[in-house]
Amino acid sequence: MQRIGVFVCWCGSNIAGTVDVEAVSEALKSEPGVVFSTNYQYMCSQAGQDIIKNAIAEHKLTGIVVCSCSPRMHEATFRKTAAAAGLNPYMVEIANIREQCSWIHKDMATGTEKAIILGKAAVAKVNLNAPLTPGESPVTKRALVIGGGIAGIQTALDIADAGFPVDIVETKPTIGGKMAQLDKTFPTLDCAACILTPKMVDVAQHENIRIFSYSEVVEVGGFVGNFDVKIKKKARYVKEDVCTGCGICTEKCPMKKAPNEFNMGMDNRPAVYIPFAQAVPKVATIDPNYCNMLKNGKCGLCAKVCTAGAIDYTQKDEIIEEKYGAIVAATGFNPISMDKFDEYAYNQSKDVITSLEFERLTNAAGPTAGKLLRPSDGEHPHTIVFVQCVGSRCAACAEKGKEYCSKICCMYTAKHAMLTRDKYPDTDVYVFYIDVRTPGKSFDEFYRRAVEEYGVHYIKGMVGKVSPEGNKLMVQASDLLANKQLHIEADLVVLAAAIEPDKSARPLATMLTASMDTNDFFTEAHPKLRPVESPTAGVFLSGTCQGPKDIPETVSQASAAAAKVIGLLAKDKLTGNPCVAHSDELMCNGCSSCERVCPYGAITYVDKEFRMPDRTTAIRRVASVNTAVCQGCGACTVACPSGAMDLNGFKNAQIMAEVDAICK
């Protein structure tokens, strides 16, 4: 039998105003197991905590019930108090008589009645509580960052600067991501390469950072503090440690017809290539889909011209196994395909381009060396139409595009329009918008400058149809404010395509057992209060893999994720939550129901030997819970058909005792 103490808090007048605290402590005195009951003005104060400590010692209490505010507020406080008095902290139960009682009732009689019932339920539970001890697990002091865009770069640099080793895994031959493809960045218009490439060099030179470029994560096992990860380093047919990045091979390669993905396919590159001049690592890569030597053994020119002897046609994919304490997802985004938007003639005319293609057309390192020229005939365009929200803000029933606002398009379109008018004042620039959304520091001022100083024609309305006629694009659009239909003869049409998470995010989330929303963005542990953590312990989120973001926001989130990782890696041991699932092996029938519902991958099945009657043994398949991974959600306890699964601290018997106490 427990010896239970009950402590009713007044919370000033917060509770005592609507609940007769004296009556509550008096009523709970006669509950089974209760040997002491009192009330006090502020139980969480030092004096209040002393009352609890003294009572534990004086009355040899084995469990306590505090009738006070929400356990979210002060459960930790009272557990510490109990521990200080030598009581197991998990012998403390909180009856929430503030948020769920006094604050929602106006009538003293009703409030008091409910407070007594809540107190009785807590007493009934404590009667069945057992002391719990949290387990400990060691922490591997190394972090993995998946994705080498600006998000991954910033996260890696911050973790590495704190003294922990970091590995970056990037699927492309170079880090840099989407930001490396951009020309200028809003709202200050500094050149993207000028601010990004020094960071890429920092990454390359940092003693704590390793870059696995042209690589991908293929398997993730383990749990927070102890992840086992397999990384596939794809064969690039160039020895990374030997190649000097001189670029001779790329000049001599006779096969120059591979579409250049860095320039959005608007020009071609050789089969052996370095994506761009500032690539990190600056190492050539041979594209096996275009290399004649790899396809039919007829060439080998690059190997002949390479003075360093770095070319190796026999290279194979390599699997690297490494242990990590924390994993950061930074997989980024891509513009959506324009295939479902026939009305804009993207597939019919080369002069209908997406905004990312426009970035390359205006970038000094792009296919036109920074001159804004039409992709079809290389002429300077005089009338340019920008279309916003192409595929963003679409209803699900429209079955094309995305439901969300892509967030960055308003600002980059203002930037494109402004820069075009600045460089080519003889150009007419139209921007068709539904709403101009520019929340952010100096953002609206930037958009207004495009209109007021640069004379960009912003028109409220949408483009309905683009039809190529001769070398022109006939744009039919509506001007809602003038209530007119417009027909513009344009030379270039730029579509602000919606952005979507990279396709690698979904399989990665499955490997990490991290949750995702219906749009394949990673879900955060709490949308406001834990925005950079995945609900899966030890997995963190950085950049656009969590939702659409511009560069300033991405960098903030990347650093925030790094701070969380550092906080984790700084610990030598992780104290677990003892309120985890626990399987009664004798009752487990090995059905795997719990394994299937576990959102954290905490349950595995093991073959175990059991003693049977008459000195025999039998091997049975039973569930085993990894207590370091289990988050105590209780899904398995509901799924278990044989009642073998139970949650420590919240056992079925305890919950039922609470319900019984309430219904009595």
Partner 1 sequence: MHKDNNAVRDEIIRRSGVNPRKCMRCGKCSATCPAYDEMEFHPHQFVYMVESGDIEPLMNSKSLYQCLTCFACVDRCPRGVEPAKLVEAVRLEVIRKQGANHLKADDIPALVTEELPQQAIVSAFRKYTK
State yes or no: residue 476 binds partner 1 (CB under 8 A): yes
Buried b (16+ CB within 10 A) or exposed e, 242-257: ebebbbebbeebebee
Q: From start to end of 33-107, where are the E strands?
A: 34-40, 63-68, 92-96
State yes or no: residue 579 binds partner 1 (CB under 8 A): no
State yes or no: residue 457 binds partner 1 (CB under 8 A): no
Shortest Å, Cβ 395 to partner 1: 4
Q: 565 near 143, Cβ under 8 Å?
A: yes
Among 194, 398, 606, 612, binds partner 1 (CB under 8 A): 398
**Cα of 328 vs its chain's centroid, Å:** 8
Shortest Å, Cβ 428 to partner 1: 19
Q: 548 near 405, Cβ under 8 Å?
A: yes
DSSP annotation of 101: I
State yes or no: residue 445 binds partner 1 (CB under 8 A): no
- Cβ-based nearer residue to partner 1, 224 or 384: 384
Rounded CA gap, 450 and 161, in Å?
39
Nearest partner of 59 among 22, 8, 5, 7, judged by Cα: 5
Among 389, 418, 431, 561, binds partner 1 (CB under 8 A): 389
Part in contact with partner 1 (CB under 8 A); list of ranges 317-325, 330-338, 461-469, 578-586: 461-469
Site for partner 1 in 410-439 (CB under 8 A): 434
Q: How many residues does the chain have?
A: 664
Part in contact with partner 1 (CB under 8 A); list of ranges 135-143, 331-339, 454-462, 551-559: 454-462
Rounded CA gap, 215 and 203, in Å?
17
Q: 526 near 415, Cβ under 8 Å?
A: no
Shortest Å, Cβ 548 to partner 1: 17
State yes or no: residue 652 binds partner 1 (CB under 8 A): no
Shortest Å, Cβ 453 to partner 1: 27
State yes or no: residue 462 binds partner 1 (CB under 8 A): yes
State yes or no: residue 480 binds partner 1 (CB under 8 A): yes
Query: How many other C-beta atoms can be found within 10 angstroms of the C-beta atom of residue 655?
Result: 16
Shortest Å, Cβ 489 to partner 1: 16
The identity of residue 307, as a single letter, is T
State yes or no: residue 485 binds partner 1 (CB under 8 A): yes
Asked if the peptide bond before residue 288 counts as cis, ω within 30 degrees of 0, the response is no
Residue with tokens 């439901």: 403
Shortest Å, Cβ 181 to partner 1: 27
Shortest Å, Cβ 467 to partner 1: 11
Among 52, 121, 211, 477, binds partner 1 (CB under 8 A): 477
Nearest partner of 8 among 94, 70, 110, 128, judged by Cα: 94
Site for partner 1 in 321-360 (CB under 8 A): 343
State yes or no: residue 393 binds partner 1 (CB under 8 A): yes
Please spell the DSSP secondary structure of 345-403, one letter per residue.
TTTT-TTEEEHHHHHHHHSTTSTTTT----TTT-PPPSEEEEEEEESSS--GGG-SS-S
Shortest Å, Cβ 414 to partner 1: 18
- Cβ-based nearer residue to partner 1, 464 or 531: 464
State yes or no: residue 464 binds partner 1 (CB under 8 A): yes
Q: Which residues touch 557 (CB under 8 Å, ≥6 apart)?
A: 151, 531, 532, 541, 542, 543, 546, 549
Among 59, 465, 506, 596, binds partner 1 (CB under 8 A): 465
Among 326, 356, 394, 622, binds partner 1 (CB under 8 A): 394
Size of the site for partner 1 (CB under 8 A): 25
Write out the two tokens for 596: 């299937």
228 sits in which H/E element: strand 226-233
**Cα of 558 vs its chain's centroid, Å:** 10
State yes or no: residue 478 binds partner 1 (CB under 8 A): yes
Shortest Å, Cβ 483 to partner 1: 7
Among 401, 538, 548, 576, binds partner 1 (CB under 8 A): 401
Give the footprint of partner 1 on this chain (CB under 8 A). 343, 389, 393-401, 434, 460-465, 476-480, 483, 485
